[in-house]
Amino acid sequence: MKFTTFLSGAAILAASATASFAEGEVVGFAQIGSESGWRAAETTLTRNQAEERGYQLQFSDAQQRQENQIAAIRSFIAQGVDAILLAPVVATGWDSVLEEAQEAEIPVVLLDRQVDSADELYLTAVGSNLVHEGEVAGEWLVGEVGDRDCRIVELQGTTGSSPAIDRKTGFENAIQGHDNLEIVRSQTGDFTRAQGKEVMESFLQAENGGADICALYAHNDDMAVGAIQAIKEAGLAPGEDILIVSIDGVPDIFQAMADGEANATVELTPNMAGPAFDALEAYWADGTAPEKFIQTESKLYTQVDDPAGEYEARKDLGY
Amino acid sequence: MSLLGRIAPQLIALAALVALVSFFFPGFLSISYHDGRLVGPVIDVLKRGAPVALLAIGMTLVIATRGIDLSVGTVMAICGAVAASAIAGGLGVGPALLLALGAGALAGLWNGVLVAVVGIQPFVATLILMTMGRGIAQLITEGRILTFTDAGFAFFGSGMMLGLPVPAWMWLIAGLGTALLMRLSALGLLIEAIGINRRASALSGVNATVLLIAVYVASGLCAALAGIVVTADIRGADANNAGLWLELDAILAVVIGGNSLLGGRFSVTASLLGAMIIQTIDTGVLLAGFPPEYNLVIKAGLVLIILVLQSPRIAAEWRVWRETQRAPPPDRTRTEGGA
């Protein structure tokens, strides 16, 4: 009796040992922090992806400080992890720590943001193309209005930030050559709901109570949500009287789309880890080096894409 | 000096600004009436200026005691988060308001005790809560924008009463109430006495410790009201952004109102006019349609002009210059020495 118990116990141990050899890779994740809902969702999805694939994820929250991220990467190297994911808080100053990882033969994958180090120092970078996001939004509006004249107001992100500059450029590229579309007012709403609402109120005042506005393009969903409230309080129907297109794909914009108050959003997917892990698996298997930049899909969602279901799927991701 | 004489510089500055904004946006003063509510840029200014105006009321009292309260923007975020989580938890509007005001009073009590009892300099004492408090707000909201749909609570942000937005009523009533309380009782005089010389006022029988704590609690309550307004306005508590840098706008409003940062004589009415001057600039820049890169430069330029024109030194120089225009000075070196 005792002997058989021992045997079966040993068998279980052996089985679990082989399992951990097969898929027990340890991945270190040096995250920036949790400054926004999107960032929190990225962390949640990275954890989920690692769990699904049977990786052991070592997570480090750097609280917006580069020195914390560098310290975390050094400790990952000391532990001898199989790969490191890095969402760099700034672009500069990574050369020496990336060289250390390279000497230890640990592949580093950049998530969401880029660094200005030489590209042989990291395996690949996964991210979204911000200009392309703006183009997707603009192309949707071009298709939606057809030949009608359309006066557009634009809520920009934080002045001078790269998402604000690139999303503006992309949108302008898309509407170029369509003379019936024109951006008549453009102001910064600082990526926040409160500013989005306040600036939209001034747009409505300046454009004949909103009667002259055909569409709103917001550089992120939060500003669009604020603007929707301003439009409602002005007695207009957002989504009908004024078309609304924005970028990010946070849960609340899907709720607004389900209520018919927003028309379209371009998703900035928080699932950067999925493509990163795919690239790592190919690399681990036979040393395949991926492209230096893996562009995530900028998917367009409109009212026909089951916004209520999308809201349910996203609301617990930490947004 | 009558009240009108005291606030004349602010009224003139406001009138000049309105004229300037009207030049770039001719419809600035137009007000229409439909669906039982007044609509127009001026109404927007009264509504959008509410958070800074509310903060400026409390800040005026604190500054009159020779103090400063840097924590008000953060306290707004905390109180907004408390109110939103109470509403989201199904507590109802009344308890949510009471909890938010309670949180504001508690924050004020903390600041007041650090300043009046422990004896830490106000700048440092309130800096603690300013830097730490946003973390408290983020803990309450768990780092996300905590949204709610309760129409009763949203009334405090976007509701209408007798044709005017509710936030406008809130700062008008709070401002009038505070001004009357200060001037109809001896309270205002006692606060000024502490600001001019705390030791002397304490020796002459003023309970300076209790009064100091009370003004910080008042400032916390004002911040709570401002937090309620911004949270109700967007129907959600945004711990990262609610009230961000508004403590600086509130201090600016007090300074534009002609109050000295060294304490002493104060005027709540003038501070409120200062808040409206700031909001007129903000709204005016938005309406005028300049590129957003110019927003802060225009604001800084206009504030600089207003403050320079109000400075006593410039006023004295102006008098000297006028006298020299009337009678040519026999000796140039005397005027170059300054006034």
- DSSP character string of B9-52: HHHHHHHHHHHHHHHHSGGGG--EEETTEEESHHHHHHHHTHHH
Q: Which residue has the higher pLDDT, A291 or B326?
A: A291
The better pLDDT of the pair A246, A37 is held by: A246
Q: Confirm or reject CATH 3.20.20.70 for domain A25-127+270-288, answering yes or no.
A: no
* A interface test, pick of B42, B145, B164, B297 with most A CB neighbours within 10 Å: B145
B196 CB contacts (<8 Å, ≥6 apart)? B66, B263, B264
Q: Which amino acid is located at B214 in the chain? A: A
pLDDT of A35 > 80? The answer is: no
Tell me if A261 sits within 8 A of A305, measured CB to CB.
Answer: no
pLDDT at B30 over 70: yes
Give A23's pLDDT tier (boundaries 50, 70, 90): low
Q: Quick one: CA dihedral A113, A119, A121, A124, positive or negative? A: positive
What pLDDT was estimated at residue B319?
A: 82
Tokens matching residue B34: 């439909």
- What residues in B contact A225, CB-CB < 8 Å? 234
Mode of pairing for the β-strands spanning B37-39 and B32-34: antiparallel
The topology under which CATH files domain A130-268+303-314 is Rossmann fold (3.40.50)
Is the Cα dihedral A20, A22, A23, A24 positive or negative?
A: positive
Pick from B144, B287, B293: CB nearest A40: B144
CA distance B196 to B209: 15
Give the nearest chain A residue to B292 (CA atoms). A187
pLDDT beyond 50 at B48 = yes
Residue B53: band (very low, low, confident or very high) from pLDDT cuts 50, 70, 90: very high
Search chain B and give the residue with CA nearest A207.
Answer: B287
Task: Read off the pLDDT of residues A3-14 as tens digits, 9 standing for 90 and up.
Answer: 444 444 444 444
Please report which confidence band the pLDDT of residue B5 belongs to, taking 50, 70 and 90 as the band edges.
Answer: confident
Residues of B in contact with A187 (CB under 8 A): 286, 289, 292
DSSP at B69: -
Q: Do A319 and B287 touch (CB under 8 A)?
A: no
∠A137-A140-A144 over CA atoms, to 5°?
Answer: 140
Test B44 with A201 for CB contact under 8 angstroms.
yes
Contact B40 A36 (CB under 8 A): no
Query: Best residue in B22, B144, B245, B295 to probe A by mutation, most A CBs within 10 Å?
Result: B144
B58: confidence class by pLDDT, cuts 50, 70, 90: very high
A1 band by pLDDT with thresholds 50, 70 and 90 = very low
Predicted confidence at residue B315, as pLDDT, reads 78
What's the pLDDT at B66?
A: 96
As for the ipTM of the complex, it is 0.87
Confidence of residue A96 (pLDDT cuts 50, 70, 90): very high
Q: Report the pLDDT value the prediction gives residue B331, as an integer from 0 to 100.
A: 57
Residue-averaged pLDDT of chain A: 90
Answer whether A202 sits within 8 Å of B287, measured CB to CB: yes
Q: How far is CA A188 from the centre of its chain?
A: 21
Residue B332 has pLDDT above 60, yes or no: no
Task: Look at residue A181 and tell me whether its pLDDT is greater than 80.
Answer: yes
Instruction: Kindly tell me if the per-residue pLDDT of A17 is higher than 70.
Output: no
Q: Give how far B228 is from chain A: nearest CA, Å.
A: 13
- Whether residue A227 is predicted with pLDDT greater than 70 in this model: the reply is yes
Rounded average pLDDT over B247-251:
96
pLDDT reported for residue B144: 82
- Between B171 and B339, residue with greater pLDDT: B171
Task: Decide: A109 and A124 in contact? Cβ < 8 Å.
Answer: yes
* Interface contact flag, A206 B295, Cβ < 8 Å: no
Residue B145 scores a pLDDT above 90: no
| Range from A3-12, A82-91, A241-250, B50-59 carrying the lowest mean pLDDT | A3-12
Helix (H/G/I), strand (E/B), else coil: B145: coil
Write the CB contacts of B227 (distance below 8 Å, at least 6 apart in sequence). Answer: B75, B76, B77, B78, B79, B80, B83, B100, B104, B242, B243
pLDDT of residue B339: 39
Instruction: Tell me the chain A residues in contact with residue B236 when contact means C-beta distances shorter than 8 Å.
Output: 193
Residue B328 confidence (pLDDT):
61
CA B13 to the chain's CA centroid:
17
Q: Mean per-residue pLDDT for B146-163?
A: 92
Of the candidates B35, B44, B147, the beta carbon closest to that of A235 is on: B35
Where do the CATH 1.10.3470 domains begin and end in chain B? 41-289
Domain span(s) for CATH 3.40.50.2300 in chain A: 25-127+270-288, 130-268+303-314
Q: Which two tokens stand for residue B336?
A: 């170059």
Residues of A in contact with B286 (CB under 8 A): 187, 198-199, 202
| Chain A interface includes B236 (CB < 8 A) | yes
Answer whether A175's CB lies under 8 Å from A142's CB: yes
* For residues A84-108, average pLDDT: 94
d(C-alpha B62, C-alpha B222), whole Å: 12
**3-class DSSP assignment, residue B237:** strand
Give the three-state DSSP class for B164: strand
Nearest chain A Cα distance for residue B294, angstroms: 10
Contact B144 A318 (CB under 8 A): yes
Handedness of CA A125, A128, A132, A134 (dihedral sign): negative
SS3 B235: coil
| Cα→Cα distances A286→A21, A276, B130, Å | 16, 16, 53
| CA separation for the pair A89, A102 (Å, rounded) | 20
What distances in angstroms separate CA A188 from CA A26, A168, A210, A217, B62, one per listed residue?
Answer: 43, 11, 18, 12, 33
| The model's pTM | 0.86
Distance (Å, rounded) from C-alpha A203 to C-alpha A181? 17
Among A19-28, B73-82, B177-186, B250-259, the range scoring the smallest mean pLDDT is A19-28
Q: Which pLDDT score, from 0 to 100, does residue A113 have?
A: 87
Q: Do A194 and B242 touch (CB under 8 A)?
A: yes
pLDDT band at A80 (very low <50, low <70, confident <90, very high): very high
For residue B230, the model assigns a pLDDT of 97
Contacts of A239 (CB under 8 A, 6+ apart): A228, A256, A257, A260, A261, A262, A263, A303
**pLDDT higher than threshold 90 for residue A22:** no
A206–B234 C-beta distance less than 8 A: no
Residue A210 half-sphere exposure toward CB, CA atoms < 13 A: 25
CATH number, domain B41-289: 1.10.3470
B287 shares contact with chain A (CB less than 8 Å): yes
B283: closest chain A residue by CA: A202
Task: List the alpha helices (DSSP H) in B159-311.
Answer: 166-184, 187-196, 198-203, 208-234, 246-256, 268-288, 295-310
In chain B, the residue whose alpha carbon lies closest to the alpha carbon of A206 is B287
B295/A188 touch (CB, cutoff 8 Å), yes or no: yes
Residue B33 has pLDDT above 80, yes or no: yes
B242 touches chain A (CB under 8 A): yes
CA pair distance B81, B140, nearest whole angstrom: 6
Q: State the nearest Cα–Cα gap between A168 and chain B, in angstroms.
A: 13
